[in-house]
Chains A and B, each alone.
Chain A
Amino acid sequence: MVPTSYYIILSAALFAIGVLGVLIRRNALVVFMSVELMLNAANLALVAFARERLSIDGQVLVFFVITVAAAEVAVGLALLVAIFRTRHTTDVDEVSTLRG
């Protein structure tokens, strides 16, 4: 059996790459993709632990996560389309009018 720690390390690496993507990239679509990456990294960790403990609970939780991710993508893309229609840009730095 492949040691669980390999999966966890992979998951952590994926999660870190996702976080960096959210913080660094300016294109809104790339930010969404990075968020998806973070969610999938979490899924991977959950499945790995489920396999280790021989318990189905982890995989059930993954179902929830996938569903939520899908809903979130729908809403997020709708927002992005709405913003693009008024501002004609997908650069997250450009939507900073809500400033103090």
Chain B
Amino acid sequence: MEWFIWLIPLLPFIGFLLNVFAIRRERPAGLVASGLVAASFVVTVIASAALSGLPEEEQRIMSVSWHWINTGALQVPFGIMLDPLTAVMALLVTGVGALIHIYSIGYMHGDPRVVRYFAYLNLFITMMLFLVMGNNMLMLFLGWEGVGLCSFLLIGFWFERAEASDAAVKAFVVNRIGDAAFILGMLAIYASFGTLNFYPVSVGGQLQPGFLERVPEIIGRTVGPTWQPFALTTLISFLLLIGATGKSAQFPLFVWLPDAMAGPTPVSALIHAATMVTGGVYMMTRNEALFAASPATQSWVLWIGALTAFIAGTSAIAQWDIKRVLAYSTVSQLGFMVAACGMGAYVAAIFHLLTHGIFKALLFLGAGSVIHGTHETQDMRKMGGLRKAMPTTYWTYLVGAGALAGIAPLAGFWSKDEILAHALSHDHWPPLIILFLTSLITAFYMGRQVALIFFGQQRDSHYHPHESGRVMTVPLIVLAIGAIIGGAINLPWGHWLTDWLKPVLHEEAGTFNLALALIATAGAVGMSYLGWWIYTRNAARIKVGGKDPAYRYSGDIWDGLEEAWYLDRLYQRAIVRPFQRLGSFLAGVFDPQGIDGLVLGVGVLFGRAGEQVRRFQSGYVRTYALIFTVGVVIVLGFVLVFSR
């Protein structure tokens, strides 16, 4: 009966095939795509229910469809599994995915290439499911690359716009850096364990070993030169960390995510908020045994996460584009998740992943609703006072903003608080302070955003704002309900998620720190109010091209924040431009003059040599006679001299 779980990735894949080959019109495209993803969600729910019925030691359903790589030493099955961790990820992917598909029916209405859009979206869901359900590193990597591809296709969906296609290329190239490290990490795992399977799996009657339970065997082995040995676990986990840095947009590889907002808003909601970017966090959680065996890497993970959260959070304050605020916010919250992984609080990381998936998707879809309702305006300086014209969007957006800011009892509060409490109880003081400050900043920029969009007077009269249709607002409402009750998955006195993930992560529930929770909520409420207050008070001074009202308190730091700490400019100057110069040198100078010169030069060389040889053929008989007289003399001389 294990084959049943194949339906989960297979249904969206059928949707992809139908949309590519069979469907031509918009209406069936949207319905088929959404319907199949919703069906996949239903199957996931049923499978998870079946999983929960199994005893704890056996909560892992494996299914292998064919023997993918079968070469003696390297054996990799094309298989998927369903265990508690996979199940929660799959529920998020298919559930939020289905809602976003339904939303897209309304958002992408009238687009000339909408069938292709739904095909890509379905392919993305399939690939993401392979990522979370793969039972070996190579299947995970297949999904990893697949979602990278779909991200490229979807960011650059409106490829007529130069910024969209540039952003797509940027996303792919920056991700590739992480992928290179990921491949090296896979090679290291294979070299150390001889297998890429996570757990033992039976393929074609033979039992193949898994590596996750055999990590203790390699603790203590070192690699590298004798004057600087590296622990093997540190090497492997560090490479995987770099891979996660690329995919999950951590410092220094987050620069692709804000630019990726050039894609359609539902794409931003699905790929760059709820699912693809969480792939890195999932991968680190799955390989928890490797990371736990390497405290050196864990401190890197923790600090990269904390710093990313802070850098991105501060950058989000200074953005004017409605989606860029949310993009930096996503990077910042991913930093929270990665920091949680670095602390060993994997359940908290997954909890935050789930709640963030819900409320960030909500915020992005709400932003999409605002964009549609204001006739494609994305600059918040042109918005204002939209709460009267778009009430449903306003209220759901408010719920999402509150959840993100971490205001109790919304979902974001519980998950963020669990991360902070874990930091506190394990005495990670510097990261705790950084993350706490970041959550205050988060609350501030959400208050700012809500004020700029929904309060005050409409600052630009070129559009007539209207609420979006039901096909777009109903998913918003569903997600808002999720954001409100989502915290129930892991309340400090219920620990439902910790228990559910125990067969995989073996974690104990953390203690609830009431003081921290109260301080965090008070801070969140206070900073949100401060953000809202500054931007409603100074609403009259906000105009396109002018400076932000908070500029007079911060000065030129504001420009630095708006440019995300000038990281993009640094890359442009230090990496992109030298590469472009190298490229134009190779193309303009080295290739035509060097390579072509070399090849043609061989011919020219022979030509010139021939011309020199030609001079011997003067045509004069006497010259020829002289030459062979001289030759005869020399030969005779040799004979006479050497025949003694």
Q: B614 contacts which chain A residues (CB < 8 A)?
A: 100
Q: A97 contacts which chain B residues (CB < 8 A)?
A: 619
Shortest distance between the CB of A93 and any CB in chain B (Å) = 6
B626 at the interface (CB under 8 A from A): yes
Q: A24 contacts which chain B residues (CB < 8 A)?
A: 622
Q: What 0/1 pattern do residues 40 to 69 of A give for CB contact below 8 A with B?
A: 000000000000000000000000000000
| Contact call B619/A96, Cβ cutoff below 8 A | yes
B617 at the interface (CB under 8 A from A): yes
| Contact call A93/B626, Cβ cutoff below 8 A | no
A17 at the interface (CB under 8 A from B): no
Q: How far is the CA of A82 from the CA of B613 in the complex (A)?
A: 31
A98 at the interface (CB under 8 A from B): yes
Residue of B nearest to A100 (CB): B617
Q: How far is the CA of A98 from the CA of B616 in the complex (A)?
A: 12
| Contact call A93/B620, Cβ cutoff below 8 A | yes
Q: A26 contacts which chain B residues (CB < 8 A)?
A: 622
Q: How far is the CA of A11 from the CA of B615 in the complex (A)?
A: 36
A2 at the interface (CB under 8 A from B): no
Interface residue from B615, B616, B619, B622 paired with A23 (Cβ < 8 Å)? B622
| Contact call B629/A19, Cβ cutoff below 8 A | yes
Q: How far is the CA of A22 from the CA of B621 in the complex (A)?
A: 10
| Contact call B629/A99, Cβ cutoff below 8 A | no
B618 at the interface (CB under 8 A from A): yes
Shortest distance between the CB of A25 and any CB in chain B (Å) = 9
B625 at the interface (CB under 8 A from A): yes
A92 at the interface (CB under 8 A from B): yes
Interface residue from A23, A92, A98, A100 paired with B629 (Cβ < 8 Å)? A23
A95 at the interface (CB under 8 A from B): yes
- 8 Å CB contacts to B: which residues of A9-28? 19, 22-24, 26
How many chain-B residues does the 8 Å CB contact rule pick out? 13
Q: How far is the CA of A93 from the CA of B621 in the complex (A)?
A: 7
Q: B613 contacts which chain A residues (CB < 8 A)?
A: 100
| Contact call A23/B626, Cβ cutoff below 8 A | yes
Residue of B nearest to A97 (CB): B619
Q: How far is the CA of A89 from the CA of B205 in the complex (A)?
A: 100
Interface residue from B616, B617, B618, B622 paired with A92 (Cβ < 8 Å)? B622
Interface-central residue, B613, B620, B629, by most chain A CB under 10 Å: B620
Q: B615 contacts which chain A residues (CB < 8 A)?
A: 100
Q: A19 contacts which chain B residues (CB < 8 A)?
A: 629
Q: How far is the CA of A97 from the CA of B620 in the complex (A)?
A: 9
- 8 Å CB contacts to A: which residues of B597-631? 613-622, 625-626, 629
Q: How far is the CA of A78 from the CA of B144 in the complex (A)?
A: 91
| Contact call A22/B625, Cβ cutoff below 8 A | yes
Shortest distance between the CB of B353 and any CB in chain A (Å) = 82
Shortest distance between the CB of B617 and any CB in chain A (Å) = 3
Q: How far is the CA of A26 from the CA of B629 in the complex (A)?
A: 17
Q: How far is the CA of A22 from the CA of B628 in the complex (A)?
A: 12
Shortest distance between the CB of A11 and any CB in chain B (Å) = 15
Shortest distance between the CB of A12 and any CB in chain B (Å) = 12
Residue of A nearest to B613 (CB): A100
Shortest distance between the CB of B551 and any CB in chain A (Å) = 83
Q: How far is the CA of A100 from the CA of B618 in the complex (A)?
A: 7
| Contact call A99/B617, Cβ cutoff below 8 A | yes
| Contact call B618/A99, Cβ cutoff below 8 A | yes
Q: How far is the CA of A19 from the CA of B613 in the complex (A)?
A: 26
Q: How far is the CA of A92 from the CA of B621 in the complex (A)?
A: 7
Which residues of B are interface residues toward A (Cβ below 8 A)?
613-622, 625-626, 629
Which residues of A are interface residues toward B (Cβ below 8 A)?
19, 22-24, 26, 92-93, 95-100
Q: Known pairs A92-B621, A99-B619. 10 more at Cβ < 8 A?
A: A23-B622, A23-B625, A24-B622, A92-B620, A92-B622, A93-B621, A93-B622, A95-B621, A97-B619, A100-B615
What 6 A-B pairs come out closest when comparing CB atoms?
Answer: A99-B619, A96-B619, A100-B617, A100-B614, A92-B621, A96-B620
* A-B CB contact pairs (8 Å), 20 listed: A19-B629, A22-B625, A23-B622, A23-B625, A23-B629, A24-B622, A26-B622, A92-B622, A93-B620, A93-B621, A93-B622, A96-B620, A96-B621, A98-B619, A99-B617, A100-B613, A100-B614, A100-B615, A100-B616, A100-B619
